[in-house]
């Protein structure tokens, strides 16, 4: 009993004195939270997305821990929800300047009709009606909108337009999300809807969910690597 009491006092004392170490040199020696590798400014500046905070840590420029090593390509294969036949693929390619090109190829749509397409919050397409994907991906707390509206859900991509065969190709460049940094889409989902997104609140009156796909990190193509002039007479590259 007496020992327990002394232990309690000692423990409390340790906690009370702890703040004395939580500054200056001691703290500086600790790695920053989330740090992975030092940024390599020469290879890839960290000022992505027009100076938006990187990884949500409030760093608006310069070196963002781990940024240079984050994946910059993601993709999903869309499968029909129960009773539907819409399928296709969507890719997210993040450029050096931080802008993300979203491209999609879809089929099984209603010929000649517009269908809404959004990133939804959860990477879960397990429900038969796609409801498990949750609501629109909205990390900035904006109202719903079409891509012509700057302040909108980050997942608001507007509509794809089907041709006479029910197929659609879609391309949109956005600067309000990334693959795996701030507002990252990897691990979330893409939903295609039965109807067009009219931009109305809260989610564009787009009807049911006809296709769903979980977004995952994709392998970057070899051609996307920075290229140096290839040696012409040297032996095969060993790098």
CB 128 within 8 A of CB 79: no
In the complex with Zn ion, the residue whose CB is nearer, 53 or 139, is 139
Handedness of CA 115, 121, 126, 127 (dihedral sign): negative
The residue from 118, 153, 181, 188 that contacts Cu ion (CB under 5 A) is 118
Least distance between Cu ion and beta carbon 56 (Å)? 24
In the complex with Zn ion, the residue whose CB is nearer, 72 or 136, is 136
- Fill in the per-residue mask, 177 to 216: x = in contact with Cu ion (CB under 5 A), - = not in contact: --------------x-------------------------
Least distance between Zn ion and beta carbon 166 (Å)? 24
Residue corresponding to tokens 């600067």: 175
The residues binding Zn ion (CB under 5 A) are 136, 144, 153, 156
Least distance between Zn ion and beta carbon 143 (Å)? 8
Q: What is the 3-state secondary structure (H, E, C) of the chain?
A: CHHHHHHHHHHHHHHHHHHHHCCHHHHHCCCCCCCCCCCCCCCCCCCCHHHCCCCCCCCCCCCCCCHHHCCCEEEEEEEECCCCCCEEEEEEEECCCCCEEEEEEEECCCCCCEEEEEEECCCCCCCCCCHHHCCECCCCCCCCCCCCCCCCCCCEEEEEECCCCCCEEEEEEECCCECCCCCECCCCEEEEECCCCCCCCCCCCCCCEEEEEECEECCCCHHHCCCCCCCCCCCCCCC
**Residue 191's binding partner out of Cu ion, Zn ion, none, with CB under 5 to 8 Å set by partner kind:** Cu ion
In the complex with Zn ion, the residue whose CB is nearer, 132 or 166, is 132
**Residue 153's binding partner out of Zn ion, Cu ion, none, with CB under 5 to 8 Å set by partner kind:** Zn ion
Please tell me whether residue 48 binds Cu ion under the rule CB under 5 A. no
Which residues form the catalytic set?
118, 120, 136, 144, 153, 156, 193, 209
CA distance 123 to 130: 10
Binding-residue total with Cu ion (CB under 5 A): 2
Interface with Cu ion by CB under 5 A: which range of 13-21, 50-58, 117-125, 219-227? 117-125
Least distance between Cu ion and beta carbon 154 (Å)? 12
In the complex with Zn ion, the residue whose CB is nearer, 106 or 119, is 119
Least distance between Cu ion and beta carbon 133 (Å)? 8
In the complex with Cu ion, the residue whose CB is nearer, 46 or 133, is 133
Q: Give residues in contact with Cu ion (CB under 5 A).
A: 118, 191
């Amino acid at each position: 009993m007496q020992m327990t009491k002394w232990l309690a006092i000692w423990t409390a004392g340790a906690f009370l004195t702890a703040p004395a170490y939580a500054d200056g040199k001691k703290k500086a020696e600790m790695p920053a939270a989330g740090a992975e590798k030092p940024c390599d400014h020469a290879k890839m500046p960290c000022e992505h997305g027009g100076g938006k905070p990187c990884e949500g840590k409030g760093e608006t420029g310069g070196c963002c821990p781990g940024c240079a090593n984050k994946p910059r390509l993601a993709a999903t294969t869309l499968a029909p929800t129960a009773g539907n036949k819409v399928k296709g693929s969507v890719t997210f390619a993040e450029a050096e300047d931080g802008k993300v090109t979203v491209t999609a190829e879809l089929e099984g749509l209603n010929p000649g009709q517009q269908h809404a397409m959004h990133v939804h919050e959860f990477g879960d397409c397990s429900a038969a009606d796609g409801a498990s994907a949750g609501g629109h991906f909205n990390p900035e707390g904006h109202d719903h909108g079409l891509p012509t509206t700057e302040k909108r859900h980050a997942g608001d991509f507007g509509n794809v337009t089907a041709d006479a065969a029910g197929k659609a190709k879609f391309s949109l460049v956005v600067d309000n999300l990334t693959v795996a940094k701030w507002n990252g889409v990897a691990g979330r989902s893409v939903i295609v809807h039965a109807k067009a997104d009219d931009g109305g609140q809260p989610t564009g009156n787009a009807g049911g969910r006809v296709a769903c796909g979980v977004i995952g990190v994709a392998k970057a193509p070899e051609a996307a690597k920075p290229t140096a002039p290839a040696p012409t007479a040297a032996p095969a590259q060993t790098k």
